[in-house]
Amino acid sequence: MSRSFSFVSHACALVVRNPISLGSVAMISLLAILALFGPHLVPYDPNLTDLSIPFSPPTAGHWFGTDQVGRDVFSRVIVATRIDLMVAICAVALSFFAGILIGASSGYYGGSLDLWVSRATDMVQVFPLFVLAMALVAALGTDMRNIVLATAIVNLPFYVRLTRAEMIILRAQMFVEAARVAGNGDGRIMCRVLLPNALPNLMIQLSVNLGWAILNAASLSFIGLGIRPPTPEWGIMVAEGATHVVAGNWWLVIFPGLLLTLAVFSFNLLGDALRDLFDIRTR
């Protein structure tokens, strides 16, 4: 009981202390609210077309203007938050947990397990990240589940490598020997002693990864391999709007792009705060 309370109070203290953390937490909270309640808060149905007012610039009635078939851009941008964030969080969560599991075993036990795991991650990392994601989505089919899977696979090597490196450093520490003398077996040592100590660095990777995963999902949709229209999604909106920008319809690209930037930016900034949150030494 008291441990979770001190965790929360430590989190609050950290956020308040550092303006950057405060800013990023505020932005992420905003995004979370939009993702959870967005579809109920928007003034228009995101898929409602109104062919009488295509390409209308931002007005009091349509804050972000309308697109080529008269759909309200504001509503679409807000609703897209849920989809993008969900894809990113699912993909990163998947690669985080799988990567830690594989990397921890590989780093702790060493030997031939380590050898095979390292070579396997080498093979995944041979390909440029986005190219591999593209190839996987193209092969598996373009639905949300496959985008999540593809992003997760592409991200896996980072967590495997990082956890493995942390394990190799930490397993030689004296407190690990002390834990052995106190009667902890290998499994307990890995889970309760080593991983909590490796977590701070993994958290930084997590936050940067989240930003990248959002961008990845948007990029895949941009080239047509991701979420299909008419589902509102930032990447699709930018893709469709890009063809109309030359005619002067800037609002089709700027607003989804702005929110995309905001999301990636706030997750990146969260990295330091997350690491401090999990590192006891900052209390």
Partner 1 sequence: MLMKSTQRLLTVKNLAVDFDTPRGLVNAVTDVSFHVDEGEMVAVVGESGSGKSVTAYSALGLLSTGGRVVADTINYLGQDLLRAGRNLLKATRGNEISMIFQSPQTALNPIRPIGIQITDVLRAHQQLSRAEATKRAIAALEAVDIQDATRRLQSYPFEFSGGMCQRALIAMALACEPRLLLADEPTTGLDVTTQKTVMDLIATLTRSRNMSTLFITHDLGLAAQYCDRIIIMQNGRVVEEGETAKIFNDPRDNYTKRLLAATPHLHSRLVDLLPPAERRPFLAPVAATSASASSACSEREVVLKVDLLVREYGLGPARRRIFEKLWPARRVETPNTSMLRAVDGISFQIGAGECVGLVGESGCGKTTTSRLIAKLIKPTAGSIQLLGEEIGADDPRTFARSHKRKLIQMVFQDPSSSLDPQRTAFEAIADPLMRLEGVKRSTELRDRIEIICDLAGLSTDLMDRYPHQLSGGQKARVGIARAIAVKPALVVLDEPTSALDVSVQAVVLNQLSKLKRELGLSYLFVTHDLNVVRLLCDRVLVMKSGKIVEQGSTEALFGAPKHEYTRQLLAASPTIRFRSAAYSG
Return the sign of the alpha-carbon dihedral for residues 154, 82, 142, 249: negative
Candidate residues 12, 41, 178, 223; the one interacting with partner 1 per rule CB under 8 A: 178
- Report if residue 283 touches partner 1, rule: CB under 8 A: yes
Q: What SS3 string covers the chain?
A: CHHHHHHHHHHHHHHHHCHHHHHHHHHHHHHHHHHHHHHHHCCCCCCCCCCCCCCCCCCCCCCCCECCCCCEHHHHHHHHHHHHHHHHHHHHHHHHHHHHHHHHHHHHHCHHHHHHHHHHHHHHHHCCHHHHHHHHHHHHCCCHHHHHHHHHHHHHHHHHHHHHHHHHHHCCCHHHHHHHHCCCCHHHHHHHHHHHHHHHHHHHHHHHHHHHHHHHHHHHHHCCCCCCCCCCCHHHHHHHHHHHHCCCCCHHHHHHHHHHHHHHHHHHHHHHHHHHHHCHHHC
Is 173 or 243 the residue whose CB approaches partner 1 more closely?
173
The distance of closest approach from Cβ of residue 217 to partner 1 in the complex, given in angstroms and rounded to an integer, is 34
Contact between 230 and 219 under an 8 Å Cβ cutoff? The reply is no
- Report if residue 20 touches partner 1, rule: CB under 8 A: no
Is 142 or 184 the residue whose CB approaches partner 1 more closely?
184
Is 180 or 244 the residue whose CB approaches partner 1 more closely?
180
Query: How many residues lie near partner 1 (CB under 8 A)?
Result: 20
Amino acid making up residue 4: S
- Report if residue 280 touches partner 1, rule: CB under 8 A: yes
Is 1 or 246 the residue whose CB approaches partner 1 more closely?
1
Q: What x-and-dash track marks residues 119-158 binding partner 1 by CB under 8 A? A: ----------------------------------------
Provide the token pair at 73. Answer: 């851009």
- Report if residue 173 touches partner 1, rule: CB under 8 A: yes
Candidate residues 165, 179, 208, 262; the one interacting with partner 1 per rule CB under 8 A: 179
Q: What x-and-dash track marks residues 181-210 binding partner 1 by CB under 8 A? A: xxxxxx-x----x--xx-------------
Return the sign of the alpha-carbon dihedral for residues 272, 273, 276, 277: negative
Segment interacting with partner 1 (CB under 8 A) among 21-29, 38-46, 93-101, 173-181: 173-181
The distance of closest approach from Cβ of residue 279 to partner 1 in the complex, given in angstroms and rounded to an integer, is 8
- Report if residue 174 touches partner 1, rule: CB under 8 A: yes
- Report if residue 14 touches partner 1, rule: CB under 8 A: no
Segment interacting with partner 1 (CB under 8 A) among 27-35, 36-44, 176-184, 255-263: 176-184
Is 196 or 229 the residue whose CB approaches partner 1 more closely?
196
The distance of closest approach from Cβ of residue 10 to partner 1 in the complex, given in angstroms and rounded to an integer, is 11
Contacts to partner 1 by CB under 8 A: 173-175, 177-186, 188, 193, 196-197, 280-281, 283
